[in-house]
Structures are given as structure tokens and as C-alpha cells.
Structure 1
Amino acid sequence: MTEIDREAVKQETMARWDSQQRRAAARIFDEIEPVRSGETVLTGGEAEWTPTGCMVTQGQRFSVSSTGANIIDRDHAVIVQPKYSLWVRIGKSGPIRKIVFEAETVFEAWADGEVEVFCKALSWWDGTDGAVISAPRTAFEGGIGYSIKLTEAPPTVVSPPDNWKFMDMFGDVTIFSGTGTDILVDTHDGDCCILQTPLDLPLNEQTRLSWSWLVEKLPSELPEDLALTHDYISVAVEFDNGLDITYLWSKELPAGYHFACPLTWWCDRETHWIVESGTENLGKWKEETRWIAADYRRAIGDKVPGKIVGVWLIANSLFQRLGGRARFRDIRIFEDGSARSVVAGSGIRCYSVS
């Protein structure tokens, strides 16, 4: 691992982040539509789902419109918008769904009952029924306003690339497009999502991950190993022990540097590995190959898991709201040193080398 004077870098990064965010604060708040008169407001501190009074039957359509934001830190314009935080469910049970567009998202009811809403804010979901992982719920400044009504408008539909799906805890987004094996990632202000494709492949010393990517814009100008600067685009492998390694491109952190995710809950399961550094190769196609077991042993521990169960594409611009843009092609996992490979997103779920 590349050695870094962690404490000195942290202090310098936070000073630069402070200056960056204070300069951007006025612009960021100008981009947020104020809560409208008559809207119900959620602070992010609610312990329970909020009933809306809107009763639906399965197949009936209803729309949700939203405004405002939960303000985590006003001076630095750290905010959480409805498109990340506002979720709905029906009849006091899952499944749960996130809004896609703040102006209006139209749902087709998947059950009978009363529509409820919840402001997730900085909490993490504990399953798909609407419970959050036990942690303090904070009422933030500002607030997310919403209005809800029955409608005949067509449902809002967002489709991920073929053979991929949105991770349940993040919901549907509009930032991924393309085919299953050629994917464009275009994050906007405040987006955060993981795209997944399942696999079932043995992991051994010869297993390697390869991909091609063209990164046009990095979503962070600062080192990504702090929570408030943790905006990035990456490709990850998920293991059968619940852990994952995610490979990213950093403007400043050196290639070979790896670190545990700085976010609560994720710190126990995710490790980040810098594979590209700097801006010289932005806008150029780059080929990458990683020997997965060796990386796991160096970054996490000696006991290498038995299987790879998924490949992820991750995109986050929630904290600094700078956005990023990259294109991924031909994400492959090679087995047993063979030239044969599994192509993530191709629809192939398991392939044994003879």
C-alpha cells in the first residue's frame, strides 16, 4: 500500500473542502426549489412513516411532487434532496419506492392501501419493508416538502441497462444508460446509486477483473477518503462474505492506495482501491486488469472468500454536488488464468471453465 501521512492529508483536505463549499453555497441553494405553501414537510427526524391520506387500489396511479432539501450543514451547503431521500410505500409494508423526478414522479400502485412517505435523509435501509438500521434520527434544518394526488398520467419508468438492476437501498435513478456491456454513467448534483449484475463464480489466485473506461469528469476535486469528499465513480466486485472491493479513479490519491469506506455502515463492508490517479488521462480510454485475490489479501485479509457474487457500478455526487461522467465497456472476469471470461451485463450468470 502506498503510505500516506493520513492526519496531515486529512487536515489539508478539510481546509480545502471548507473553502470549496463556502464558495459554492450560494449557487447550490439557488438550485433548490423552496418548499411551497401547503406542502407537508419532512425533517428527516421522523421515526415512523407518514400517512398521506391518499388511498389507492392496485393498478391505480398517483403522483408525488417534492421541493426543498434537508440541510445538513448550511455554511457548506451539504444538503440532501428529495430525489435521494423521499420514499413511498403502500399499506404499511414494503416494497418501498424512491421518487425519480422532484417535479413529479408517477407511480402505479402495487398494492391496496394508504400511501405513506418517509424521508430517509442519512439513514440506511434495513431491508425492503421500510425499516431503517438502528441509529439516531436527526431533524435537519430546511425540510423536504411533498404533495401527492391521484392521476391518470403514465407511470414514470426508468430502465437500467440490460441485465443490470438498481440496488434496492438506492432506488431508481436516471444516471446510467447504454447497453449491458457499454454503459454511460452521468452523475448530476446530489445523485447516488449502485448498479448491480449478479454472478456466481469461484474465486482463486488466477481470477482477474478487467474493464475499459473513459472518464471525462471526476466527481471530486479532493481526496475521496473522507466522508464529506466521498464522491466517485467506480467498478466493484462483491463477494459471498458480504464484502466488496471497489476500484476508482482519483484526482489526487495515488494509485495503489486503498482504504475502508469512510461512511458509516459501509465502512464494515467496502474497501476502495485507487487504480488511476491524476487528470492527464481523462478523456482517454484506459484498460485495467486486477488480480482480485491478491488485492483482497493486501487490502482486507488473508482469508480470501470462495466466490464472486456480483459486479457493481457505483456513482456518487451526493456530498460536493460536482457531478461526474464516465463510460465503461467490457467488464470481464477471467477464471483460472484462462482466456475465457464472464462478461458482466451480458446476461451470463455462471460459466465454468473446463
Structure 2
Amino acid sequence: MPSLLTDLSVASQLFLRATGRRLKGQQAPAPDLEAFREAMDPLLQGIAPGVIKQTAWLDMPANQPPWTHSGVTVDEGDDVSYFLAGQVFASKALDLQFQPSLQVWCRAGDTGEIFRGTRDSHSFKASQGGPLYFGNYFPSTWQTPQGELTTDTDVYKGNQGLFRILVIVWSERAADGLRALLGTGKEPRLVDELARLEQGDTAPEGWKYLWHVGPAEIFREGHSGDGSTPCIHCRTHKDVGILQHDVDQALTPESEIRWRWCVNKLPSTLREDTLPSHDYLSIAVEFDNGRDITYYWSATLPEGYGYDCPLPNWKGIEYHVVVRSGKQGLGEWLDERRNLYKDYKKYMGEPPPRITRVWFIANSIFQRIEGSCDYADIHLEGAKGSVRLL
């Protein structure tokens, strides 16, 4: 594990990087919340009667713990859209900020399940009636699907920023309402949300996103460069996603995972074993004790290096092992094979009985650098044969 000196070294590099962007005028301007409202209000006022049931505007400070009443009450089955503008800083000095789509979660009703969108707009059908709530995510995480936290609410005090949220409850289908609203003005947010709805879920068949991290548009089915091999494309930029495939296999001394991947671009230029630089692409295996081991390509750390996850909410759960390092081999299809039993025993202790899931992880929320990778030919090998996942 990195020392305090290492943490300070990474933080100082991020500080210098952020300072350089500010001095060069390369820092993106703060979102204009007034312009957001001024763009949307005339469209709402110009729409034909009967298309919209109700609307509400909500300002939610980034340091406010969940959950905040939106001022809207929905009926079960209502189609609802919301639109976001704003930002949250975990540290302005280090320019650690998170996208609104990652930070702002939603819940319909007092006992409804929480969710978020993949973009700064989202449309959904209310699964139950009741008040519509919004809540901040980082730096905590969810303990239950109803939005209970894993931490005390005091952790939100360090956040800086503000979100402005527009909520629209439609009389009919959200897609029809968006088209009607577009008839009053070609607002890009509406175009983007309608395109997202028409696109649908992009998760590869048989895979699903981990619920308490949330959905994404990071992973898609595809083929390798020559078109001959089915693969899963991974593209991440300022977002995070954990894609999971259920399995049920005994963990024995013969247990191995093998895969092929072509890593084109790493989402980090720094060592990844500190919290503010923990951006990476990996394939992971989860066990029936709730822990997982994740294999990734590091920008700087040596092959074979292992460490417990530096994120407080994942410490003691996820363990990282570097299988490749540096720039050599980027852009090439490479074969990998790891003995899961031996790796668990070496890095984590006494192996548990069973393997329960295989994951893909992509994180680029801290340094906000684009990362890309393709995966193919994923197999779990065991004493009773091989299971092909891709």
C-alpha cells in the first residue's frame, strides 16, 4: 500500500496539473445555471395544454445529504423526465469534480428503489406513487436499494457546488412529450434525451451494471478490428461503470481466468493506488465471500504489484493486481491467464469456496482522462471444464 508520502506526492502532481490548467485558461467554465433556466422556461410556457402534468425547479447544494423533496408528487406509472446542470467539487485545489449524472440520484416514493441516469438528463416511468426525491452520491455510497448510506451524512460537508434540476411529469409517454417540447424550440438537452431514449440500453446481453455504482454507456457489444471476433468495447471518459456477469463455479487450485484484450488508451497518467488517481480499466472476479480481485493495466506501477482498494467504501472488499504496466503493448491484442486460487492465496488469504461473478470495471472520474479497451475470449477454467463468457 502507498505511504502518506506517496499520497502527498500524487496530490501535489494533481495540484500542479490543476494550477497549470487555470493559468493557461484551459479550465472549463462553471455551468451557467441561470442560462439553463432561461433556455428551458420559454419552451415549457410555449407547449400546448395537456402535454405536461406538472413541472418543478429544484436547487440542490452539493453538500446536502440525501434525500431532498423535489416539490413534485408522482402517481404510479407516470412518465417523468429530469434535466441537470451544475457541478460538485470534492477538492477545488486538485480539480476533483464529478459529472452531474454520477452525483445526482433519484427516488420515487418513500420506499422506492433509487436510480440515476447515464447523462445529464433522464426519463423513467414511476414504479410507485409518492414524493419525488433527489440526492447526492459522492463521497458516500448506497447501502440499500432504497437509498440508505454506508456512512454518516457528515461526509458531505466537504463538497462544494450546486445543482439545478428541472423535473417534468408528462401526461403521456416521455418520448412523445419530448418531441412536443422540441416543437417549441430545438434545445440540445431535449435532443440528447430523446436520442438516449431511442437508443435504449447498451449493456451487452447477459451482463448488467452494479446497482449501487449505477448504469453507464461505457460497454457495448462489437467485434475486433478485423470483424472476426466478438468482443465488448469499453470507452470511458469522466464516468464509471462496473459490468457484471453471474457465474457459479467452485474455486479450486485449477481455477483460472483467461481473456484477450486490446488496451488502446489508459485513463490515468499517475499511479492508481491513491484515492485521487484511482482511474483504471480492469477485469475482475468476485467470490462468495463478497470480495473480488481485479486485474488491470497500470500507467506506472510494476507488474505483480497488489494493493487493497484506496477508496474507503471499497477497502477490504476489492483487491487490485497489476498484470501489465506502461505503454508497451498498448493497441495490441494480448492474451492473459491468471490462476485465481493462487492469486487469492498470495494476495488476499485463504480462498473462499466459490466464484460468483466476473466483472469489467472502467473508472475515469478522478483525472477525467479518456480510456478505451476491447475484451474478447473470456473463459473460466475449472476442475470440471471451461465456461465461456464471451
Instruction: Confirm or deny a common fold (TM above 0.5).
Output: yes
Ranges in structure 2 where 5+ consecutive residues have no aligned partner: 38-56, 176-193, 224-229
Distance 2:163 2:346 in 1: 43
Residue number in structure 2 paired with 1:85: 103
Match of 1:167 among 210, 214, 225: 210
Distance change >3 Å, CA 28–CA 233, structure 1 → 2: farther
1:18 positional shift: 2.4
TM-align CA RMSD: 2.1
Distance change >3 Å, CA 332–CA 300, structure 1 → 2: same
Asked if 1:341 corresponds to 2:389, the answer is no
Give SS of 1:268's match: coil
1:122 positional shift: 1.2
Larger radius of gyration: 2
Distance 1:314 1:253 in 2: 18
Residue number in structure 2 paired with 1:257: 305
Structure 2 letter corresponding to 1:88: C
- Contact 2:11–2:94, Cα closer than 8 Å, also in 1: no
How many pairs align?
336
Residue number in structure 2 paired with 1:202: 250
- Contact 1:24–1:77, Cα closer than 8 Å, also in 2: no
Residue number in structure 2 paired with 1:18: 15
1:98-135 deviations in Å (ceiling 9; x for gaps): 02221x21111111222111111211101101111122
Give SS of 1:138's match: helix
1:74-102 deviations in Å (ceiling 9; x for gaps): 12211122110111111111311102221
- Contact 1:209–1:289, Cα closer than 8 Å, also in 2: yes
Distance 1:167 1:5 in 2: 28
Distance 1:10 1:54 in 2: 44
Match of 2:233 among 177, 180, 184: 184
Distance 1:52 1:82 in 2: 16
- Contact 2:80–2:124, Cα closer than 8 Å, also in 1: yes
Residue number in structure 2 paired with 1:321: 368
Distance 1:86 1:257 in 2: 35
Give SS of 1:274's match: strand
Residue number in structure 1 paired with 2:271: 223
Match of 1:130 among 147, 158, 165: 147
Residue number in structure 2 paired with 1:43: 61
1:6 positional shift: 4.9
1:321-351 deviations in Å (ceiling 9; x for gaps): 0120001112211012x6x411225xxxxxx
Answer with 271-280 or 108-117: which moved more.
108-117
- Contact 1:165–1:196, Cα closer than 8 Å, also in 2: yes
Percent of residue pairs bearing the same amino acid type: 30
Structure 2 letter corresponding to 1:17: L
- Contact 2:2–2:274, Cα closer than 8 Å, also in 1: no
Residue number in structure 1 paired with 2:53: none
- Contact 1:64–1:99, Cα closer than 8 Å, also in 2: no
Residue number in structure 2 paired with 1:143: 162
Distance change >3 Å, CA 134–CA 6, structure 1 → 2: closer
Distance 2:122 2:331 in 1: 34
